[in-house]
Amino acid sequence: MNIGFLTNEFPPHIYGGAGVHVEYLTRELSKLEGGTHKVQALCFGDQNLDTPNLSATGIGSGPAFPTSDKRHSKLLDTLYRDLAMAGALHDIGVVHCHTWYSHFAGCLVKQLQQVPLVLTTHSLEPHRPWKVEQLGTAYNASTWIERTAYQNADGVVAVSESMRRDVHDLYGVPFEKIRVIHNGIDLAQYRKTENPELLASYQIDPAKPMVLFVGRITRQKGIIHLVNAIQHLKEGTQVVLCAGAPDTKEIGEEMTQAVEEARRHTSNPIIWIPEILSKDKIIAMYSHATVFVCPSVYEPFGIINLEAMACETPVVASAVGGIPEIVVHGETGYLVPIDSIGDGNVEPKDPLQFATNLAHTINDLLADPDKVQAMSNAGRRRVEDHFSWTSIAVKTLEFYKELAENFGK
């Protein structure tokens, strides 16, 4: 089978879970059944990969379109790249799209080449209302594009049971069109790998318990709630925030102010690394951490929790989206409920209470070294048993074949 992938992110330009998913799924699909399948990826950027079974071509930015609101530029640039993608993709048996950035192109490819359209639900626009800060009224257009794509899709891959329900409820996609296939992890790459020199370079004390956050500075990842929790953490704890790439200038400034405020209310060190670290450095950070914290307010799956568990680190995470399908409460970590506002807005009703609950849960775990060790071991076992990329690629290929066989009937 010739498989077309349309995506914003592809190595080396990866900044989120969708990009991680695309990186490993395309690699594993190209290896299946003796390498008899070819994967052709079109993405945003300057990528140029050409191997016998996997190729990737980056699509660059278009002209600077006039706009009434500068926040609309991202939408117009996306549509330009999607038109280029629709023209460049050829000789495929199925087209698989990832995030709304590629959905317009996918709809066109389905019609132009008469092939099944598959979408993976990495996130859904109606559950990310904070994106208005980035897109302005173009957020209405991104949501419309997403809705149109889901209503025209032949098959949908939901990365969790939670996302399966959301796709059905928001866009009316019949359950029989939706297949739940979890995200995965590279078990050989993500394993406990310590690097004391890396800790020393950031002045992290290996003798102190380390609370770790990894992710972008965005409303979705809930980092502000963790920063607000720091003042309640037990004395002698250090907090390491691997947090860069703020969604907007405003949330970047809010983050800076929150960290400064937290430092005024605690004697515990707060080490903020305001950049996206390389994979080997992130793996070392996971490996040295006593506990990894994922305070997301919206998380369709939560690949970062898999990464931490694979590196034998217990997880304290918000009980939202697909996270409860990864973290087993009391066994591989702890889940902290969020009493959300509702009506599509998953922000906590009482942000300070949520922050306090996060802190108390982290403190309870740090106070029990035996529990930390047991959860470390259980997390690695769970990842090994349920989340290999090879098995996920096999399930995805089976779905493609079913859709291709039934397309047009």
Residue-wise pLDDT for 82-102, tens only, equals 999 999 998 999 999 999 999
Mean pLDDT of the chain: 94
Q: Say whether pLDDT at 41 is over 60.
A: yes
Closest to 386 in 3D by CA, of 315, 332, 320: 332
Crossing angle of helices 138-152 and 103-113, in 10° steps, is 40
DSSP H helices, 154-219, are: 161-171, 196-201
Please identify which residue in the block is written with the tokens 């590629």: 102
**Structure-block tokens of residue 341:** 């506002």
Comparing CA positions, the residue from 332, 391, 394, 376 lying closest to residue 191 is: 376
What is the pLDDT confidence band of residue 15, given thresholds at 50, 70 and 90? confident
Mean pLDDT of 211-218: 94
Cα–Cα distances in angstroms (integers) from residue 30 to residues 37, 117, 121, 159, in the given order: 6, 19, 22, 20
Amino acid at 164: R
Answer with the residue of higher pLDDT: 134 or 103. 103
Least confident stretch, 105-109, 196-200, 225-229, 299-303: 299-303
Alpha-carbon distance of 124 to 255, in angstroms, equals 24
Digit-coded pLDDT (tens) for 16-31: 889 999 999 999 999 9
Q: Which residue has the tokens 């217990």?
A: 314
pLDDT in the model for residue 342: 53
For residue 2, how many other CB atoms are within 10 A of its CB? Answer: 13
Domains and CATH numbers, the chain: 2-184+388-406 (3.40.50.2000), 196-386 (3.40.50.2000)
CA angle 71, 298, 135 (to 5 degrees): 5
Which residue has tokens 């965005």? 218
pLDDT in tens, 231-282: 999 999 999 999 998 888 899 999 999 999 999 999 999 999 998 899 999 9
Phi then psi for 115, rounded to 5 degrees? -130, 160
pLDDT at 190 over 70: yes
Share of the chain above pLDDT 70, in %: 98
Q: Is the dihedral of CA 122, 126, 127, 131 positive or negative?
A: positive
| Residues 308, 379: Cα–Cα separation, whole Å | 8
The model carries a pTM of 0.82
What pLDDT is stored for residue 346 in this prediction? 62
Structural tokens at position 392: 């996920």
Span 67-92, average pLDDT: 95
Q: Is 407 helix (H, G, I), strand (E, B) or coil?
A: coil
* AA letter at 196: P
The H-or-E segment that residue 260 falls in is helix 249-264
Locate 346 and state its tokens. 């998953």
Place of tokens 């996997």: 54
Question: Does the structure show a pLDDT above 90 at 339?
Answer: no
Torsion over CA: 225, 229, 230, 233 (sign) = negative
Q: What is the pLDDT of residue 245?
A: 84
Q: Which residues contact 409 (CB under 8 A, 6 or more apart)?
A: none
How much is the average pLDDT of 294-310?
A: 94
Which amino acid type is present at position 46? Answer: D
**At a CB cut-off of 8 Å and minimum separation 6, what does 287 contact?**
192, 193, 194, 195, 311, 312, 313
pLDDT value at 340 more than 70: no
The two beta strands, 178-180 and 155-158, are: parallel
Per-state percent for the chain, helix, strand, coil, to nearest 5:
45, 20, 35
Which of the listed ranges 332-341, 342-351, 364-373 does the model predict with the highest average pLDDT? Answer: 364-373
